[in-house]
Amino acid sequence: MFYIGVDLGTSAVKLLLMEGNGKIEKIVSKEYALSFPHPGWSEQKPEDWWTQVVAGIKELTSEVDKSQVAGISFGGQMHGLVTLDADDNVIRPAILWNDGRTGKETEYLNNVIGKDKLSEYTANIAFAGFTAPKILWMQENEPDLWAKVAKIMLPKDYIAYKLSGSFCTDYSDASGMLLLDVKNRCWSEEMMDICKVSESQLPKLYESYEVVGTIKPEVASELGFTNDVKIIAGAGDNAAAAVGTGTVGEGKCNLSIGTSGTIFISSKNFTVDPANALHSFDHADGGYHLMGCMLSAASCNKWWMDEILKTKDYPAEQAGIKNLGENRVFYLPYLMGERSPHNNPDARAMFIGMSMDTTREDMTQAVLEGVAFGLRDSLEVARSQGIKIERSKICGGGAKSPLWQQIIASVMNLKLDILENEEGPGLGGAILAAVGCGMYASVEEACQAIVRVKETVEPDPELIRKYEERYQEFKKLYPTVKTLF
């Protein structure tokens, strides 16, 4: 049988076809537009997602026996606000995870409602990218549109709805809305009251590996599938990526170097970072996880290469970098503001430390190191709670660079396990589909059977020492310049 994983990303949807034994049959990617209507805003049309998902699934399954497709599941960009009216029409473009318009609403939630109350209700505080502040923004700024809202969804759940007709979400993705009681896995009555939403406007909650319905007959007909294809809830992209890298169960770690950057620590027990610098979310394996998220990771390098250096030859730009740990140029990686651990949507990127002998390679190296230092900030929060992490999986586009692997391993003093199949959320979605269809008894069992490590990058003792000095300098920069933002 075949299982489809749909990775609904920010710039494209990546679809993966997997056999039950974990063999990846085919991968297809379809891009869609990203809109920035005002500075700091970020939106997409859900209809574009659906169009490209349908086109992608057709291409994905064009050369296989479609009757063997058993299930479809998802990993999806988190936090986005998708609103439908009573007739299931999309009311406005989705407000995305990296949208920074909700400063006023975030401040209201954190300072008027209070961080202590939010943490009590949801295990988290408000961040500008979360869904609840977006709801408050829409109520304040688009009241006529808000009056039409019958269904509130997250991005991947719109695709699940179009496929199955099931108005659903999963606990991992819902954890990032600031509407979920994470500890007790239910909608928070207090947060629904604060945000003036009814439970009927919110989707039914499922574990990530649970079946939410079967494919609609008309969709099955268009795709050439049988009518009994199961649709499985899926997970937020980071939880799905963690499944795709085998970061499930107790005390595992995954670093994701994608558009955003995350450190993801899985646990069987519910814990909350006392300072709320890390998110405390439900995990796709039925447990919990702590997560630090920086809004710009590989996107920093993409911006530097594409927009500033005007090149697509990333390896060539990195080839001249030789003196790791000795760079005097620093880069603050806050192109879209920052979440963990600073929670400042107004933060911005900057270079500091240039001199007349600074080279192009120094600047490129500073970008790579700045992202690593930003991830280290979140790792230090976890370590301050007594969490001991000595190794981590690594995934995402940025993780394909051997130079960046070595920088991250040495900056964070972690052994980095490189995977045979580094397909993150797409593979995680396919694994969840296989579990939902009964191929495996649990997510952990599936990961043990499917996920394989091909090599390990060891941190270099000399670089650890050098980067420790650099990191201590980096730590001083944000507190020094934050009043400028």
String of DSSP letters for 170-206 = EHHHHGGGT-EETTTTEE-HHHHHHTT--GGGSPEEE
Same domain, 88 and 51: yes
Q: Show the tokens assigned to 177.
A: 């809305």
Contact predicate 300/333, CB 8 Å: yes
Same domain, 285 and 403: yes
pLDDT digits (tens, 9 = 90+) for 43-82: 999 999 999 999 999 999 999 999 999 999 999 999 999 9
The DSSP H or E segment spanning 25 is strand 24-31
Same domain, 71 and 148: yes
pLDDT classification of 473: cutoffs 50, 70, 90: very high
Last residue of a domain, one of 238, 256, 277: 238
Question: Around Cβ 276, how many Cβ atoms within 10 Å?
Answer: 22
Q: Known catalytic residue: 237?
A: yes
- Torsional sign, CA 211, 212, 214, 218: negative
Same domain, 212 and 289: no
Same domain, 269 and 218: no
Closest C-alpha among 276, 284, 155, 273 to residue 208: 284
Same domain, 392 and 413: yes
Of 48, 170, 173, 237, which is the active-site residue?
237
pLDDT digits (tens, 9 = 90+) for 88-140: 999 999 999 989 899 999 999 999 999 999 999 999 999 989 999 999 999 99
pLDDT digits (tens, 9 = 90+) for 360-407: 999 999 999 999 999 999 999 999 988 999 999 998 889 999 999 999
DSSP per position, 115-155: HHHHHHHHSS---TTSHHHHHHHHHHH-HHHHTT--EEE-H
- For range 310-333, the mean pLDDT: 96
Instruction: For residue 70, tell me if it sits in a domain.
Output: yes
Give the whole-angstrom CA distance, residue 350 versus residue 54. Answer: 40
Same domain, 220 and 315: no
Same domain, 229 and 273: no
Give the whole-angstrom CA distance, residue 57 versus residue 7. Answer: 12
- Please tell me the predicted confidence (pLDDT) of residue 452: 94
Residue 300 has pLDDT above 90, yes or no: yes
> By residue range, what is the domain housing residue 483?
246-421+452-485
Q: Show the tokens assigned to 468.
A: 């420790």
Strands (DSSP E) contained in 226-278 are 230-232, 235-236, 253-257, 261-267
Instruction: For residue 274, tell me if it sits in a domain.
Output: yes
Question: Around Cβ 477, how many Cβ atoms within 10 Å?
Answer: 17
Task: Please calculate the CA angle 117-118-123 and round it to the nearest 5 degrees.
Answer: 115
pLDDT classification of 423: cutoffs 50, 70, 90: confident
Residue 299 has pLDDT above 90, yes or no: yes
342 assigned binding-site residue? no
| CATH code at position 95 | 3.30.420.40
Last residue of a domain, one of 209, 238, 267: 238
Per the structure, the count of domains in the chain is 2
Instruction: For residue 439, tell me if it sits in a domain.
Output: no
pLDDT digits (tens, 9 = 90+) for 210-228: 999 999 999 999 999 999 9
Same domain, 217 and 252: no
Per-residue b or e along 200-211, where b marks 16 or more CB atoms closer than 10 Å to that residue's CB = ebbbebbbbbbb
- For range 141-163, the mean pLDDT: 98
Instruction: For residue 436, tell me if it sits in a domain.
Output: no
Same domain, 228 and 258: no
Same domain, 234 and 284: no
Residue 345 has pLDDT above 90, yes or no: no
Same domain, 252 and 197: no
283 assigned binding-site residue? no
Give the whole-angstrom CA distance, residue 429 versus residue 273. Answer: 28
Confidence (pTM): 0.89
- Please tell me the predicted confidence (pLDDT) of residue 4: 98
- For range 352-361, the mean pLDDT: 98
- What are φ and ψ of residue 40, in 5° steps? 85, -10
Instruction: For residue 446, tell me if it sits in a domain.
Output: no
Last residue of a domain, one of 219, 238, 257: 238
- Please tell me the predicted confidence (pLDDT) of residue 362: 98
